[in-house]
Amino acid sequence: MNLTNDEKIERINKWQTSNLVHPLTCPCCKGTDHTKLIPTKIRISSYESLDPELFLVCPKCDYIQKDIPETVYLIDVDAIQKSFRRIFSKLFM
């Protein structure tokens, strides 16, 4: 999928705030309160011409995750939420 970093951040933020899916949480802060990871652009190369890379960062500890599951970009949580609303409104009419 050819998404820009900003498009990816938008989708990750939707995923992280949706009630329908399990948010991406910090494996280090596990057992406490499952801290949600925050998509963050980090410039790891000193070449100014290269775009910063996208990582998931824990706001509580120093955990940084490079792997972002493709599912987050493929599943449109907004569309699922809308179709759930349609189904429920039919059920309770």
| Measured CA distances, 17 to 24, 43, 58 (Å) | 10, 26, 15
64 contacts Zn ion (rule: CB under 5 A) = no
Quick one: 30 or 86, whose CB is closer to Zn ion?
30
Q: Which of 3, 10, 13, 28 binds Zn ion (CB under 5 A)?
A: 28
For the chain, how are helix, strand and coil distributed in percent, rounded to 5?
A: 35, 15, 50
Measured torsion, CA atoms of residues 57, 1, 5, 16, in degrees rounded to the nearest 10:
-40
Quick one: 4 or 69, whose CB is closer to Zn ion?
69
Segment contacting Zn ion by CB under 5 A, of 4-12, 55-63, 71-79, 83-91: 55-63
Cβ atoms of residues 15 and 24 within 8 Å: yes
The distance of closest approach from Cβ of residue 37 to Zn ion in the complex, given in angstroms and rounded to an integer, is 8
Which residues of this protein are in contact with Zn ion, per CB under 5 A?
Answer: 26, 28-29, 35, 58, 60-61, 63
